[in-house]
Amino acid sequence: MSGPLVVLVGPMGVGKSTVGQQLAERLQVAYRDTDDDIVAEQGRAIADIFVEEGESAFRALEKQAVRRALAEHDGVLALGGGSILDADTRALLSGLRVVYLSMDVEEAVKRTGLNAARPLLAVNPRKQWRELMEARRHLYEEVATVVVPTDGRTPEEVTQASLDALELKEA
């Protein structure tokens, strides 16, 4: 199978970066995050791109970053929360090991504080998070090989549950 060994998807704040780094370490492969790629390439924060250029400009950058990472990276790859909104991106994920890290709104509040640094949650965070998840949940489920709930679990427990669900052995 070409492409990443494991791809992580899920909402902002679910722990994709933390779990991704732990998975990569335990599988002895490299870790990559498309949000980090965008920040490095653009030289500014994602929130700044949203404010200065708008969501559609950010989504175009994200689509390019995801396409490039899927083609180049063979380790553990974490995708930005909204990357699955793009049909081409969803098609590229077909046939890959995709872990959807899920959480409910109460867990999201605990983890992110649903703060203003998250541009899509700036006005009414709980309501907006619920609406985002209503719009995206079926897309996460569509691309997922496995779903791993993160509610009330430590990153280590989520990492182990991901390995178990994918039936991957540590290196």
- Unique residue bearing structure tokens 């203003």: 116
Q: Is 130 annotated as a binding residue?
A: no
Q: Is 10 annotated as a binding residue?
A: no
- Do β-strands 76-78 and 6-9 pair in parallel, antiparallel, or remain unpaired? parallel
Q: Is 17 annotated as a binding residue?
A: yes
Q: Is 136 annotated as a binding residue?
A: yes
Q: Is 14 annotated as a binding residue?
A: yes
Pair of tokens at residue 162: 């991901």
Q: Is 2 annotated as a binding residue?
A: no
| 101 neighbors 19 (Cβ within 8 angstroms) | yes
Pair of tokens at residue 10: 């899920």
Q: Is 81 annotated as a binding residue?
A: yes
Edge-to-edge order in the sheet of strand 146-149: 31-33, 76-78, 6-9, 98-102, 146-149
Q: Is 80 annotated as a binding residue?
A: no
Q: Is 153 annotated as a binding residue?
A: yes
Known binding site: residues? 13-18, 35, 59, 81, 118, 136, 153
Known binding site for substrate: residues? 35, 59, 81, 136
Known binding site for ATP: residues? 13-18, 118, 153
Known binding site for Mg(2+): residues? 17
